[in-house]
Amino acid sequence: MTTQADIYDFNDLETAFDFDTDAFGVGFDIDVDTRIIKPPLSKDRVAAWKNAKKTAAEIKITPGMSYFGIIDGSFIFGDLLEALFTQKLIRATRLDISTLSLSQDNVDSLATLLLKGYVKNLNLIVSDYFYQHERRLLMPYIYKELDIDNRFQLAAAGIHTKIITARLTSGINLVMHGSANLRSSGNIEQVHIQDSMEILTFCETINDKIIDKFKTINKSVRRNVLWQQIIPGASRKQ
């Protein structure tokens, strides 16, 4: 039988979690069209994986590649990303990550990819709840470690997606998505890794709209670009 003690008072949740619902306009109210895309059919290679580094060694980053895996609860999804880049010596001009949450170890991995030149530009989208919960803990660390040379952007919005997209210099459109956040969850999860221009472009389009409205870093604008905005058609060479 349900008792009064079993009933949550949802009116007190905001106070309980110290959650500022006005910080980033909580709610996904930006203009994003939901549409269906039909990517090319691919033949998936399937496996059960327990270790991120060993998994990376088994994955071949080639045109049209597609892998589907079930991963162990101790598997750290963020470790797979770093392992793929460092083992395969791949480079990305743009890396987008949308995740409900991440850990400090994940931040360190991303810093390695930026500092060692594996990734030129990084966009990180996290849930607004996670941002608020970690605003005095992990968030300052994220800005400190990843805001390098104007190559990083962080957005916080009402998202629950776990998607990684990377435009590789080799021409591969790397897409990694599944149920797992970057950090381990202690649960069995699924992950799909593939080369898909259609999915990558679709996700980047949505990410750009989210970042445009919910970004947290006000990046400086170069003088010549700023002048172009002020005086349309003005020559960059004076």
**pLDDT tens, 209-225?**
999 999 999 876 555 55
Domain limits for position 96? 22-29+42-230
- pLDDT, one tens digit per residue, over 8-66 is 343 443 443 343 434 444 444 556 565 666 666 667 787 777 788 888 999 999 999 99
User: Is residue 186 included in any domain, yes or no?
Assistant: yes
Per-residue confidence (pLDDT) for residue 52, from 0 to 100: 85
The residue type at 55:
T
Provide CB contacts within 8 A for 175, sequence distance 6+: 163, 164, 165, 192, 193, 194, 195, 196, 199, 200, 203
Strands 173-178 and 45-49: unpaired
User: Is residue 13 included in any domain, yes or no?
Assistant: no
User: Is residue 236 included in any domain, yes or no?
Assistant: no
Torsion, Cα 69 75 77 83, to 10 degrees, reads -90
The residue type at 181:
N
CA proximity to 197, closest of 172, 229, 214: 172
For residue 185, what is the domain's CATH number? 3.30.870.10
Mean pLDDT, residues 173-179 taken together: 94
User: Is residue 37 included in any domain, yes or no?
Assistant: no
Q: How confident is the model at residue 143 (pLDDT cuts 50, 70, 90)?
A: very high
Number of domains in the chain: 1
pTM beyond 0.95: the answer is no
User: Is residue 238 included in any domain, yes or no?
Assistant: no
* Matching residue, tokens 């998202």: 159
Considering the chain, what is the average pLDDT of its residues? 82
- Residue with more model confidence, 23 or 76: 76
Instruction: Tell me how far apart the alpha carbons of residues 150 and 134 are, in angstroms, rounded to a whole number.
Output: 23
User: Is residue 100 included in any domain, yes or no?
Assistant: yes
User: Is residue 139 included in any domain, yes or no?
Assistant: yes
User: Is residue 16 included in any domain, yes or no?
Assistant: no
